[in-house]
A and B are shown apart, each in its own frame.
Chain A
Amino acid sequence: MGKATIIPFGPQHPVLPEPLHLDLVVEDEKVIEAIPQIGFVHRGLEKLVETRDYNQFIYVAERICGICAFGHSYGYAETVERLMGVEVPERGQYLRVIWHELSRIHSHILWLGLAADAFGYESLFMHCWRLRERVLDIFEKTTGGRVIFSVVKVGGVVRDIDAAQLAEIIRVLEGIKSDYRQLMDAFLKDSSVMNRTVGVGYLSFEDATNLSMVGPFARASNVAYDVRSLGIGAYGTLSDFQPIVDTQGDCYARMKVRALEVLQSIDIIEEMIARIPAGDISVPVKGNPAEGAEAACVVEQPRGECYYYARGNGSKNLERMRMRTPTSQNLAGMVKALEGCDLADVNMIILTIDPCISCTER
């Protein structure tokens, strides 16, 4: 046994797109403890709610994260609607789900690409991002933005997607599907991928439940929890929704869960488009949130469950807005998964929780 050494990891690291710092306590090549440190990009967005009214804050909310931008504006709007007792028209709810699932597809494909990059499979990375580009093109056509859409407002959505565009979405998704199946083949069956992921960063079902984990990270450890199955908004109208779970609990399982969720999202979008009702896309919202009124809501982001809380104070500004992002919930699980791993696997394990530190710090 060698003596313990501390190796600093991050916040600038080739594999990490996010500013996360870890102090890795290593003995020989084994990590015995990891101490996370965040706090490099705290922007005080929650404080900003005091100077922006509840309609304007939606644009701040979607800037919390560049990848789950739609999810944050959706979750924020959903919470403020609960706070003020606003009922969104059905078509608006369906459109929100379509965009939300599209952003899940783009987020998961982006992540798969980053994972491929992390284990050194450059061409796989390129092919993933090539496919993702088609999803971004859908966004560009339907919302007018590629990353930040500004398409949700309190009380509904801003733009409608007409029948021609909906048919176009189906057509593009079909094209993505056939290409994506080949990519999935590479991810799930290629020996060079499996060598890096199978059995790495194992986390048991007991640990996952004890550490209150959420999202694909938890589902890979057989925790069948997905906010979408609670049926909030138009998700309640889905004919059948089963969270995708895996029992292995290692990096490979986490990759597999995300890979399969892309196909699941495509199915959800196709079902939504087949059944989308005609009608209004938004309702006018009048008045201010009442003083002391409170509301909480959860939304399934690509990275897991995201919690929103709002409190009114009788004026047009909210008293407090809080977002608890999936990554902050999963940090404890990440620390646990890192214990006992090889130093060379650290980056792979960190990546498989899909950390979004900028979300976490807001």
Chain B
Amino acid sequence: MGFATEFTTLALQELPELSNQRKADGWRFVQLLAVNTDMGIDLIYSFMKDGLLVNSEIKGVTKDQVVPSITNNFLAAFVFENEVHDLFGVNIEGIAIDFGGNFYALAQKEPMTVISPEQKAAREKARKIAEAKAAKEKASKEGATPEQGKPQAVTSAHTADDDLEAKLAGMDPEKAAKVRAAMATKAKKEAARDGEGA
């Protein structure tokens, strides 16, 4: 018996049907987890049978959407459904043992939906890198096709700059500014040397 994992996507309205089907086919409920994203909360339901672990993902559940409970089929899910409700604020209806938001004794409501500065920075960074990459690809596409006559060196220098920009986008702003300043002085020096040489 081997072990394999599978990730599938699921629509919210398909959940009760999936739960009934899994129950009928004798799958074991493994867990329910939530991920906080910009688009809402992703819910992942995992079921296992004969070493195959299937994770069904419901993307972007918002606060006003009602998620039906699966505790009618899998009572073990009550822990996780209460947890998702308490930590992520997902509105789950019909939990068999419902604590009504008192499962965890927390100082703060829905702590897992708070976006920490670190996470915000990480997301910004990922976004900037992606943007820089996209811009670079666009530029290289545009640069490659129409103007064949241009010297090769110019385009290569251009892409090197872009690479640097992509890297800088990822750094924290202070450091990036320092690197930029250093690059500028280096370029100036080189220009001066070139001038002397000529």
A residues apposed to B, CB below 8 Å: 35, 37-40, 42, 44, 46-47, 50-51, 82, 209-213, 225, 227, 229-232, 291, 294-298, 305, 307, 309, 311, 313-315, 317, 319-320, 322, 324, 328-329, 331-333, 335-336, 360-361
Is the CB–CB distance between B116 and A231 below 8 Å? Answer: no
The distance from the CB of B27 to the nearest CB of chain A, in whole angstroms, is 9
Bound form: Cα–Cα A360–B104 in Å: 11
8 contacts between A and B (CB under 8 A): A47-B112, A211-B75, A311-B35, A317-B119, A320-B35, A322-B33, A324-B30, A335-B97
Q: Quick one: which of B26-47 are within 8 Å of A by CB?
A: 26, 28-31, 33, 35-36, 44, 46
Query: Could you tell me if B126 and A51 are in contact, using CB atoms closer than 8 angstroms?
Result: no
With contact pairs A298-B3, A328-B79 given, residues A315 and B126 touching in the complex (Cβ less than 8 Å): yes
Do A331 and B105 contact each other (CB < 8 Å), given the known contacts A231-B2, A298-B3? no
Whether the pair B53, A42 counts as a contact (CB closer than 8 A) is no
A47, A229, A231: most-surrounded residue (chain B CB, <10 A): A47
Quick check: A231 and B76 within 8 Å, CB to CB? no
Interface members, chain B 120-139 (any A CB < 8 Å): 122-123, 125-126, 129-130
A314 touches B104 (CB 8 A): no
Alpha-carbon separation in the docked complex, A234 to B127 (Å): 39
Q: Which of B54-75 contact A (CB under 8 A)?
A: 55, 74-75
The answer to whether B33 touches A309 (Cβ under 8 A) is yes
A298 — which chain B residues lie within 8 A by C-beta?
3, 30, 48, 53
**Residue from the set B33, B44, B123 with the largest chain A CB neighbour count within 10 Å:** B33
A69–chain B nearest beta-carbon distance, Å: 21
A307-B31, A315-B122, A319-B35 given as contacts; is B2 within 8 A of A324 (CB)?
A: no
Which has the most chain A C-beta neighbours within 10 Å: B28, B99, B106?
B28
* Residues of chain A lying within 8 A (CB to CB) of residue B51: 230
B76 adjacent to A212 (CB under 8 Å): yes
> What distance in Å separates the Cβ of A294 from its nearest Cβ neighbour in chain B?
6
**Interface readout for B96-110 with A: 1 if CB under 8 Å, 0 if not?**
010100111110000
> CB distance B112 to A50 under 8 Å?
no
Chain B positions within 8 Å of A, measured between CB atoms, are 1-3, 5, 7, 26, 28-31, 33, 35-36, 44, 46, 48, 51, 53, 55, 74-76, 78-80, 86, 97, 99, 102-106, 111-112, 116, 118-119, 122-123, 125-126, 129-130
Give me the 3 closest cross-chain CB pairs, A-B, nearest first.
Answer: A39-B104, A324-B31, A230-B3
Known contacts A39-B104, A42-B104, A211-B75; 16 additional CB pairs below 8 A are A209-B26, A212-B30, A229-B1, A230-B1, A232-B3, A296-B53, A296-B55, A314-B130, A315-B125, A317-B118, A319-B119, A328-B79, A329-B79, A331-B76, A331-B79, A361-B104
CB of B5 within 8 A of CB of A295, answer: yes
**Residue of B2, B78, B126 contacting most chain A CB atoms (<10 Å):** B126
- State the CA gap A225–B2 with chains docked (Å): 13
State the CA gap A307–B119 with chains docked (Å): 24
Chain B residue at minimum C-beta to C-beta distance from A210: B75
**Chain A: CB-nearest residue to B125:** A315
Q: Could you tell me if B122 and A313 are in contact, using CB atoms closer than 8 angstroms?
A: yes
Please give me the residue from chain A that is nearest to B51 by CB atom.
Answer: A230
Cβ-defined partner of A332 (8 Å) among B79, B103, B112: B79
Q: How far is the CA of A44 from the CA of B119 in the complex (A)?
A: 15
Q: How far is the CA of A225 from the CA of B29 in the complex (A)?
A: 13
Q: A44-B111, A47-B111, A296-B46 are in contact. Are A35 and B97 (CB under 8 A)?
A: yes
Q: Could you tell me the distance between the alpha carbons of A314 and B125 in the complex, rounded to whole angstroms?
A: 9
Q: Provided the pairs A39-B105, A315-B125, A332-B79 are in contact, do residues A296 and B112 lie with their beta carbons within 8 angstroms?
A: no
Taking a contact as CB atoms under 8 Å apart, the answer to whether A333 and B103 are in contact is no
Nearest CB of A to B44, in Å: 7
Known: A212-B74, A311-B35. A231 touches B3 (CB 8 A): yes
Q: Give the residues in chain A near B126, CB-CB below 8 Å.
A: 291, 313-315
How far apart are the CA atoms of A333 and B28 in the complex, in Å?
A: 14
Output the residue of B51, B79, B102, B111 with the most chain A CB within 10 A.
Answer: B79
By beta carbon, the residue of chain B nearest A311 is: B35
Q: Which residues of A contact B103 (CB under 8 A)?
A: 37-39
The residues of B that contact A332 with a CB separation of less than 8 Å are 75-76, 78-79
> Bound state CA distance, A314 and B130, in angstroms?
10
- Given A47-B111, A329-B31, A40 contacting B3 (CB threshold 8 A): no
| Residue among A39, A225, A361 with max Cβ neighbours from chain B (10 Å) | A39
Q: Is the CB of B1 within 8 A of A50?
A: no
**With A and B bound together, what is the CA distance between A82 and B5 in angstroms?**
10
Q: Which residues of A sit under 8 angstroms from B79, Cβ to Cβ?
A: 328-329, 331-332, 360
A319 to B125, CA, bound (A): 13
